[in-house]
Amino acid sequence: MQNIKDAIDAIRNDRMILLYDAADREGETDFMIPARSISPQDIAEMRIYGGGLLCAVIPDAAAERLGLPFAADILRRLPDLAHLAEGDLHYDTRSSFSLWVNHRDTFTGIPDRDRALTIRKLDEIVESTLNGDAVDFSSEFRSPGHVAVLRGAKDLLKERKGQTELSIALAELAGINPVLCICEMLDSETGYALTKEDAKKYAIKNDLVFVEGEEIISGYEKG
C-alpha cells in the first residue's frame, strides 16, 4: 500500500511517475504526469527517454460535454473508411483515441513548448466543463494537431483497465483534475517496449515512483 500512497502523493504534487499496466495487456510502462503542470522540459524528457506517443488523457464526462468522440466512431460514419475502425487489437476490445489537437496559440504545434501549452490548456478546459461552465472547444483548439487525446471509459476500471483509465483513477485518488499526459517507454536497441525491469531501473536512477496497474486497481476499489 505504501507504493500507491507514494504515487498519489507524487502526482498530487505535480511530479512525474512511471505507470506499468499489466503483463496481459500492453505490458508497457508509461511516463505519467498531471497535465496542469507540464513543462517543455517534461515533454523533452518523455520524447527522449520514453520515445512513445505523447497523449493527453481526459475523462469520459468531459469528452462528452466537449463533443470529443472516439476516433473509431468518426470512422464508422464514413462508408469508405468504416472498415478501418473494426480493429483486431490483441490486448483490448477497442482504442481510447479521440481527436488530435493543437491549441490555437501554437504555431506548428509540435515543439516542446507548443505541446506543453496544448496539454495545459486541455487541463483548463476540462476543469471548466466539469465545473459546469459553458465552453467552446473549437474556439481554443484546432484539429488535426500534434497531441493525441485519449478518452477514458465511461465506467472507468469496471469497463477497461488501460493506461488511460488507470491514469484517471490515480488522479481521482489524488483529488486532482483527471487530465494527464502519458508516453510509452520504448527500447531503441530491441525495437520493442522497454522491459518492466529496465523501466524500474530508470525509476530508481531518476527517483521516480514506479507503480503497477494492479496497485491502482486495488487502491481504487478500496476507495
93: cell is 476490445
Catalytic residue among 55, 177, 183, 220: 55
- From CA 131, how far away is CA 97, in angstroms rounded? 24
Known catalytic membership, residue 102: yes
Long-range contacts of 201-206 (CB under 8 A, 24+ apart): 202/18, 202/49, 203/18
- From CA 160, how far away is CA 174, in angstroms rounded? 20
Catalytic residue among 3, 9, 73, 91: 91
Catalytic residue among 49, 124, 140, 146: 146
- From CA 11, how far away is CA 140, in angstroms rounded? 26
Known catalytic membership, residue 202: no
Ordered strands of the 29-34 beta sheet: 97-103, 141-151, 55-58, 180-184, 29-34, 17-20, 209-212
Known catalytic membership, residue 91: yes
- From CA 206, how far away is CA 119, in angstroms rounded? 24
Catalytic residue among 28, 30, 114, 127: 30
40: cell is 517543455
- From CA 147, how far away is CA 137, in angstroms rounded? 15
Catalytic residue among 28, 42, 102, 165: 102
Catalytic residue among 60, 127, 165, 184: 184
- Residue 159 DSSP one-character state: T
Cα angle, residue 43 at apex, residues 39 and 44 outer, rounded to 5°: 115
- Provide the annotated active-site residues: 30, 55, 91, 102, 146, 184
